[in-house]
Structure 1
Amino acid sequence: MMSEQGAALFWMSVMALFLIAALFFTPLNARAETGRVVPSSKAEVQLSYAPVVEKAAPAVVNVYSKRVVQERPSPIFNDPFFQRFFGDRFSFGVPRERVQQSLGSGVIVRENGIIVTNNHVIEGGESFTIALSDRREFDAELVLADERTDLAILRIDPKGERLPTLKFKDSDTVEVGDLVLAIGNPFGVGQTVTSGIVSALARTQVGVSDYQFFIQTDAAINPGNSGGALVTMDGQLIGINTAIFSRSGGSVGIGFAIPANMVRSVVESAIDGGSVKRPWLGASLQAVTSDLAESLGLDRPGGALVQELYEGGPAARAGLKVGDVIRKVDGREVLDPQSVRYRLATKSVGGQIELDYVRKGGTGTARLSLELPPEDPPREVTDLGGRQPFAGATVGNLSPAFADELRLDPFARGVVVLKVQRGSTAQRIGVRPGDIILAVSGTEVRDVDGLKRLVAGAREQWDLKIKRGEEVFSATVRG
């Protein structure tokens, strides 16, 4: 008789042999059901991003921006003790010129030399140089700088040569988890490729542009990558790398790219006329928080609550009402007002879009005409003079179009201060560009002509009401 210990060892040996046989005789395709397959060929062992890079990298360029700045020397150079030894031979105290340079990346999107980069790469630049991937350099002209999207369009003359380009991909087709490559020139070390995935979509709280709606990636992005390409595995442009989240200045795996659909819209605007024309909603919106969703009887937060409608504007004509919550734009879910603005900004003036909304527990769809904000009243830019509080200020009438251009509240009314001369009466009493003049001595200011009448006569004192940002304050000025 076999002992109990011997029997246990016997059956353990039998089970081990059975498992080994199963491992060797199970077909590979059966193991593939787990999603993990042993490479079956040399080609599969040598899988690489190299073909994608070979296709995309030639269209990514370096962008050099230069400007001349006045540099004042240290006050120590004017010290009599210092000049006793050096005298005036070095012209101490005289401002000297210095060339200031910045470096970024860019992407060729047209064979004839149209290049897109970030506005912050070229901002303040006086001359621009483009270095291709083959190290050839070209002088570039600035076609369009759009601070609101942080995009800029440059043009070089390739003398008839057809340059390599990256094609735009519909950025609405990208999904979280998709593989992407970031190509640019970090820290000026030369063209560099990093890989990662799409970490998130529709990031709207980044705060680097007016139209916040970014693709987030963990592909390493560092200073100098700005303006470079974020490409998909088919070698197409899905976004322009723009910003990173970092406490140290280096990549920590949180980078942001402007979606290709927005980039394409700005590029087409630059080619068509050199200015960006964006459709106008004609409504002010508010984010729907958890508390607000509960008070409105909604099943979840998200969307954009209509706070105010511009009379006769596109939203009002489409049938939207104050209190409606916009949930989708052309079938795409929107989580906040920034998402709505982005969706509008990627559309062309003259068409229509559909807005899905919730109203008092029910749902509806509105068809909105895409049109420019009106300039009514005309801006009537005027320089003010004479013996009155606003002497030395340049003012203009606010309208939805002018307010949008100045990045002010499109619903603001009154007269806005555009410039203030140094040493003028307006500067001395504290008037600043961006101030909105609401009233003078108790009378509402509706337009520039009305303001001129109100300040035309001599007075012992002026009672002013001015809006600055979100605050309204009053001031009294002696005549």
Structure 2
Amino acid sequence: MKTIWAAFSAFLLLSAPAVAQETVPASQAQIDLTFAPLVKAAAPAVVNIYTRTVIKQRATSPFFDDPFFRQFFGDQFKSGQPKERVQGALGSGVIVRTDGLIVTNNHVINGADQIRVVLNDKREFEAKVVAAEERLDLALLKVDTKGQALPVLSLRDSDDLEVGDLVLAIGNPFGVGQTVTSGIVSGVARTNTGIGDFGYFIQTDAAINPGNSGGALISMDGKLVGIPTAIFSKTGGSVGIGFAIPSNMVAAVVKAEGNGGKLVRPWIGAAGETVTNDIAQSLGLPTPGGVVVQQLYAKGPAEQAGIKPGDIITGVNGREVEDPEGLRFRLATLPVGEKATLNLIRKGSVVDLPVDLIAPPEKPTNETLLEGRQPLSGALIIDLSPATADELNISAWDGVAIAKMKRGSISDRVGFEAGDIIVKINDKDIKSAAELADLMSSLPAPWTITVNRGGKVKTFDLD
């Protein structure tokens, strides 16, 4: 009996899954493992950025209208006269070229009257804005180094990152001074975060707090993989969900500095929607993901390459595409004038097609500010073209859209939004901005205005 039990016990031990054993460090080298050498190499290229903005505001004290008060202090305190105050802000940046080119977030320096850069070694420089990409939330600054070479961070291909990779975040949180936090890559290709028009981010649990914006997210080879930009937080502090702009997008903006800082994003003339689970099932696909093509611009690059409605774009140059935001990101990191290979699924078969990357075509447009006592008053309307549509982040290439609105105007209070495409007014199709302006200048109430907002039709019935 004992022999049988011993044999059974031995069988259980042999068939049990192997369990990783915890061990203590076996050498002094293992005990001394540290990120310190990596930080020492990278930190000098990460800078603190301090901005000053002059804010004008009107005095509101009732004493400023009092003649007795003004006889002592003069008309400088007269009610309604603008007063100035200086507002300070802070952030971080990364030196990407030895001659003093620095990349940061646009929101760090937006509207600033003075920008001061402080290096890790305490040297200070006045900086000027070379380029600002509001939609990407990236900006380039330049400092005069007087011929001195500054330390730089090299950029790594952010597409090589994988979930679980170790990363460090370096920045100036809360203005306490340069700080380093560690974590892992929690996610890649994050879209639909509500951050910017080109929402495609690296997610990390390395602590990111206010002031880290514009700093560095580095990999274990000491290279820049992202620019920390935003956090998800209900309290304003880090909860381990931070987002960084991938270095491949940073590289595209840095390269555009040679063109005066204007980044021209490639355009292929194709638009579509995400392949959801329902769409995947209807098309007989094993999994959702990708962009099903719905619109093609006549004689545009996509149509000329042989792409057809119903094709599913699954990648660009072999890099996976999950949704339209991902497609836009992949294209935005590529240079105009070259070709890209679109990876497609067509009727169940895999197809690769080369497509030309061109700048969005422009055509003569009319831009008109609507006025008067009518519901679109205060709206700046514009004829759409591929170029203006790209600028306004609109998928349509024709029609009339609201470019922007005056805050507090009638159109703003009614509920119209920048990017709305005016489709019909009182059942009349709208073809041009000039036609819309003429119609609204003479059309009496009531008005029924139909708009296309992000692919959805919305109707306003107004008296």
TM range (shorter): 0.7 to 0.9
**1:425/1:251 CA distance change after superposition, 3 Å:** closer
Most deviating of 138-147 and 327-336: 327-336
User: Could you tell me which residue of structure 1 aligns to residue 266 of structure 2?
Assistant: 279
Q: Residue 404 of structure 1: CA displacement?
A: 1.3
Letter in 2 for 1:444: D
Letter in 2 for 1:106: G
Contact 1:109–1:165 (8 Å) recurs in 2:
yes
For residues 348-387 of structure 1, the aligned pairs below 5 Å read 348-376=335-363, 378-382=364-368
Q: Residue 34 of structure 1: CA displacement?
A: 6.3
Q: Say whether residues 1:251 and 2:238 are aligned partners.
A: yes
**1:346/1:35 CA distance change after superposition, 3 Å:** farther
Q: Say whether residues 1:444 and 2:429 are aligned partners.
A: yes
Q: CA RMSD in A?
A: 3.5
Secondary structure of the corresponding residue to residue 199 of structure 1: strand
Secondary structure of the corresponding residue to residue 149 of structure 1: coil
Partner of residue 389 from structure 2, selected from 403, 406, 412: 403
Secondary structure of the corresponding residue to residue 362 of structure 2: coil
User: Could you tell me which residue of structure 1 aligns to residue 207 of structure 2?
Assistant: 220
Q: Deviations over 1:10-54 (max 9, x none)?
A: xxxxxxxxxxxxxxxxxxxxxxx9697765543443221111111
Whole-Å Cα distance in 1 between the matches of residues 234 and 407 of structure 2?
A: 39
User: Could you tell me which residue of structure 2 aligns to residue 467 of structure 1?
Assistant: 451
**1:357/1:433 CA distance change after superposition, 3 Å:** closer
For residues 303-342 of structure 1, the aligned pairs below 5 Å read 303-342=290-329
**1:133/1:316 CA distance change after superposition, 3 Å:** same
Aligned length: 441
Partner of residue 265 from structure 1, selected from 242, 248, 252: 252
Contact 2:279–2:288 (8 Å) recurs in 1:
yes
**1:463/1:46 CA distance change after superposition, 3 Å:** closer
Structure 2: gaps (5+ residues): 1-18
Secondary structure of the corresponding residue to residue 177 of structure 1: coil
**1:138/1:472 CA distance change after superposition, 3 Å:** same
Contact 1:107–1:227 (8 Å) recurs in 2:
yes
Whole-Å Cα distance in 2 between the matches of residues 386 and 257 of structure 1?
A: 45
Secondary structure of the corresponding residue to residue 61 of structure 1: strand
User: Could you tell me which residue of structure 1 aligns to residue 6 of structure 2?
Assistant: none
For residues 104-143 of structure 1, the aligned pairs below 5 Å read 104-143=91-130
Secondary structure of the corresponding residue to residue 57 of structure 1: helix
Contact 2:311–2:345 (8 Å) recurs in 1:
yes
User: Could you tell me which residue of structure 1 aligns to residue 56 of structure 2?
Assistant: 70
Whole-Å Cα distance in 1 between the matches of residues 69 and 409 of structure 2?
A: 43
Letter in 1 for 2:195: V
User: Could you tell me which residue of structure 2 aligns to residue 12 of structure 1?
Assistant: none
Most deviating of 39-48 and 447-456: 447-456
Letter in 1 for 2:56: Q
Partner of residue 147 from structure 2, selected from 147, 155, 160: 160
Structure 1: gaps (5+ residues): 1-32
Whole-Å Cα distance in 2 between the matches of residues 50 and 425 of structure 1?
A: 58
Most deviating of 351-360 and 386-395: 386-395
**1:462/1:85 CA distance change after superposition, 3 Å:** closer
Secondary structure of the corresponding residue to residue 258 of structure 1: strand
Q: Residue 195 of structure 1: CA displacement?
A: 1.2
Partner of residue 47 from structure 1, selected from 30, 33, 39: 33
Contact 1:325–1:358 (8 Å) recurs in 2:
yes
Q: Residue 237 of structure 1: CA displacement?
A: 0.6
User: Could you tell me which residue of structure 1 aligns to residue 401 of structure 2?
Assistant: 416
Give me the TM-score of the superposition, normalised by structure 1.
0.81
Q: Deviations over 1:49-106 (max 9, x none)?
A: 11111110000001112211123455565698xx989987493745421111110000
Greater Cα radius of gyration, structure 1 or 2:
1
Q: Say whether residues 1:151 and 2:138 are aligned partners.
A: yes
Q: Residue 380 of structure 1: CA displacement?
A: 3.3
User: Could you tell me which residue of structure 2 aligns to residue 28 of structure 1?
Assistant: none
Secondary structure of the corresponding residue to residue 133 of structure 1: coil
Contact 1:310–1:411 (8 Å) recurs in 2:
no
Whole-Å Cα distance in 1 between the matches of residues 436 and 290 of structure 2?
A: 40
Q: Deviations over 1:403-422 (max 9, x none)?
A: 11122x23153233446679
Whole-Å Cα distance in 1 between the matches of residues 443 and 219 of structure 2?
A: 68
**1:176/1:455 CA distance change after superposition, 3 Å:** closer
**1:472/1:205 CA distance change after superposition, 3 Å:** closer
Letter in 1 for 2:190: R
Give me the TM-score of the superposition, normalised by structure 2.
0.84
Q: Residue 362 of structure 1: CA displacement?
A: 2.2
Contact 2:170–2:180 (8 Å) recurs in 1:
yes
